[in-house]
Structure 1
Amino acid sequence: MARISVLDDGVSLDEPTLIEGFPGVGLVGKIATDHLIDAHGMTHYANVHCDGLPPVTVYRESETAATTPVRLYADSELDLVALRSDVPVNPGAATEVAACLGSWFDEIDLFPVFLSGLGREKDEEPPELYGIATGNGAEALDRAEVSEPSESGLVSGPTGAMLAAALEDDRDAVGLVVESDPQFPDPEAARALIVDGIDPIAGIETPTDGLVEQATEIRNAKRQLAEQMRQATEESTQAEPLKMFQ
């Protein structure tokens, strides 16, 4: 049965910003979301039980508590919620997962920020970041001075499905797309998501020095999940150019 199981009723939220971190190209969404949770000491707020999610249980080093692979973390002072996923979502289940989470989005009256990587070979230039929006989400992009897309494209996986649902329901939301390494975890691109997109949209400040200083460690820690993503027939979530005449 699809539901969000709240674990901490003491968390008070008032029209919060939600940062979504399903794994995809460069694992940028997951790396960024994991960093937000750790940097701000966010509280494990709820477990996510949605049809379409892998039927697995996860556990942590030095902890006996088992939990769901997809969880929500919250910070009352920042009015912030982060979705952490330890597993990729099968593209065929993206619509089910999006519908499950979308109904909860409406209950909480939150503003979702969806994250996606656009596979590009690395060079000396900083990764390009741009934003797309549904409803009145473009107002948030304007305030944060997030650039418009430089080319046409599409977003797939659960992130694309949730953006599609927001578009259909005329819900305010934004999608942040960042150029990312197509083969390996990309902490640099995740840092660009936080500094140039998430922080100005959510009105927060997140220290990101660790993402640069520990880039090699982060890549090694995420390498196994990245390999699972590459072996899949499709990425869990990704942006890609539209290969057609416009």
Structure 2
Amino acid sequence: MRKRQLLASKNRQARFQVELEHSLAMLLRSISHDLRTPLATIMGASSMLADSELTLSSEEIREQAANIYRQSSLLSEHFDKVMELSRVQQPQHTLARTELDVADVVSAAISRRAQLLTNQALQIHLNSHARCMADSTLLEIALANMLENAVRHGAAPVTVSFNLDNGDYLLRVSNAVASHNTAQRDSGTGLGTAICKAVMQLHTGQFSLHSSDNQTMLAQLRWPATTDIVEQNVG
């Protein structure tokens, strides 16, 4: 029995490593693709402003400065995602599961995306005593990415809910699918999804994202509910 358990553990670690390598490859592709456009825009706009032979109106100067600011903000978002994925994928990271107040996790995730979520309509459906066992930082990172995806690709309001289901924790983010015209541009190709998947793999859980009849978007974190918490080394 002990040998079977060790073999199963090694198999899980091998699968996990493959997933991490896949996420890293996707990350590198995303950086190459997603950084090219904002960098080109910044270079073009700053070149115009620095060109002494060009005479620009006050309105044109403001427009190019605004362009630089927008694209710089986009670059900042990209790098935030890179740092989050790096945090999740630290080779020697030890999963520190503790008992958490789910309301605190939700609040921290919203703060992490404060600029994006400040004026968004959010509906939080939590039991007053909703608690779970998880790594607080990683769960916060995953939820922040779920909220960002919902806002960028869906319509208000965005609903956050938490409950227990057959011995599992379920943390969900849902909203209506936005029309093509109102959906915002994603700030990173697949990075948010990769982060959520990696976080759930560390918790021996699953992340899912789907839409029903093109009307409702649902992102879900599902991981085992247990009080038998042991530090889990995933390196």
Q: Quick check: TM above 0.5?
A: no
TM-score (norm 1): 0.23
Greater Rg by CA:
2
